[in-house]
Amino acid sequence: MQKKAGPLFYVFLILFLFAVMFPFLWQMLASFKPPGELFGESAFSIAIKEPTFNNYNLVFTERPFGTYLWNSLAVATLTTVYAIVVSVFASYAIAWLNFKGKTVILGIVLAVSMFPQIATISPIFMFLQSVGLTNSWLGLIIPYTTFALPLAVWNLTIFFRKLPLDLAEAAKMDGASIWQTLTKVFLPLAMPGVFTTAILVFIAAWNEFLFALTINTEESMKTVPVGIAMFQGQFTIPWAEISAASIVVTVPLVVMVLIFQRRIVSGLTSGAVKE
């Protein structure tokens, strides 16, 4: 149905893009308003009388937002690195090597990726508490495995299956060991898929909420989503600061998405579509 688009289509497209972007744009607008302009009539105005950067300032000076960012960055990066390293081997084996039980293994991986987090949290919490790992990075990296590892194994396997298998056969013919095939032939080909999967795992870990909320409760160990969610007090919600903090977190993600959109889309859709 590769038809040329008509003018009506572009009208629709602009409306659609507007709807998709609106909450983000509105939040950005609010982040530059002084708190006074977030109430009353000026709350609905798109013009800012006195634009300010003070909200951004407050987020970093009045609240430990820098600490939250650092914790999120560390936990998400470490989770990604460790999940990718473990799953590159597993996926390579499932996709390229011959042995029995591969379908069962992949089935287990897929099933685990569907586990609701709430079903694993009580034993994980009790375990982490008994070994004193609550309020630490490791205390989050361990439970993040429950979604990071299945996600990585599943995506990498699907990606690796698309790589030309005859190259491996040729390498074997030439007398290369499995290790040589892996490092010399396979990894260079696999890098794009590994990179895409790493982005997906990183975003999943960066956005995680339930484990972070229950396991790291100390202010100095909170991650960004929990930190921002806890900005709201019992009776007041500091919208100006929440907006600024949200924009600080979202802009890097948006930039990342813009740069890597092709890879992300292929990573997201490869598991679901037969090609």
Partner 1 sequence: MAKSKRRMSEKQAGYLMVFPALLIILVIAIWPVVRSFWISLYDVRLNDPTKSQIHSAYGIDMERYANGLPLLKSNIANEKKQVEAPAAGELDAVLQSVLAVDKELNQDPKFTDRYTQVDDLLNNMQPVPDDVKFLDAEQVQAQKLKDTLQDAEKKVLALSNDKQLKTENVLGIVRGLEGSVIEPNFVGLAYYKQYLTDSRMWASLGNTVLFTVLSVVCELVLGLWIAVLINKQFIGRGLVRAAVLIPWAIPTVISALMWKFMYDGQNGILAHVFWKIGLISDPGVLLTTKWGAMFSTIFADVWKTTPFMALLLFAGLQTIPESLYEAAEVDGATKRQQFFRITLPMLKTSILVALLFRTLDAFRVFDLVYVLTGGGPANSTETISIYAYKTMFAQMNFGAGSALSVLVFLCVALISMGYIKILGADLIGENSGK
| In contact, 185 and 167? CB cutoff 8 Å | yes
Q: 134 near 128, Cβ under 8 Å?
A: yes
Q: What are phi and psi of 60, to 5 degrees?
A: -90, -25
> Hey, which residues between 52 and 81 contact partner 1 (CB under 8 A)?
none
Q: Which one, 62 or 161, has the nearer CB to partner 1?
A: 161
State the DSSP H helix or E strand holding residue 111, giving kind and residue range, or none if neither: helix 102-113
Site string for partner 1, 152-191 (x = CB under 8 A): -x---xxx-xx--------------xxxx-----------
Q: Does 273 bind partner 1 (CB under 8 A)?
A: yes
Looking at 77, 120, 135, 136, which residue binds partner 1 (CB under 8 A)? 120
215 vs 135: CA distance, rounded Å: 6
**Nearest-CA neighbor of 60 among 248, 235, 199?**
248
Q: Which is nearer to partner 1, 118 or 188 (CB)?
A: 118
Query: Residue 137, interface with partner 1 (CB under 8 A)?
Result: no
Please provide the DSSP assignment of 75-98 as one string. HHHHHHHHHHHHHHHHHHHHHHS-
| Residue 84 within binding range of partner 1, rule CB under 8 A | no
User: Under the criterion CB under 8 A, does residue 36 sit at the interface with partner 1?
Assistant: no
Nearer to partner 1, 131 or 191 (CB): 131
Which residue from 172, 164, 166 is spatially nearest to 189, judged by alpha carbons?
Answer: 164
Neighbours of 196 (CB within 10 A): 22
**Window 231-270: residues binding partner 1 (CB under 8 A):** 237, 239, 242-243, 246, 249-250, 253-254, 256-258, 261-262, 264-265, 268-270
Least gap, CB of 224 to partner 1 (angstroms): 7
Residue 106 binds partner 1, judged by CB under 8 A: yes
Shortest distance, CB of residue 253 to partner 1, whole angstroms?
Answer: 5
Name the nearest CA neighbour of 125 among 146, 95, 103, 99: 146
Cβ proximity to partner 1: between 98 and 188 the closer is: 98
Residue 57 vs 129, nearer CB to partner 1 = 129
Q: Which amino acid is at 159?
A: F
- Is residue 124 a contact residue for partner 1 (CB under 8 A)? yes
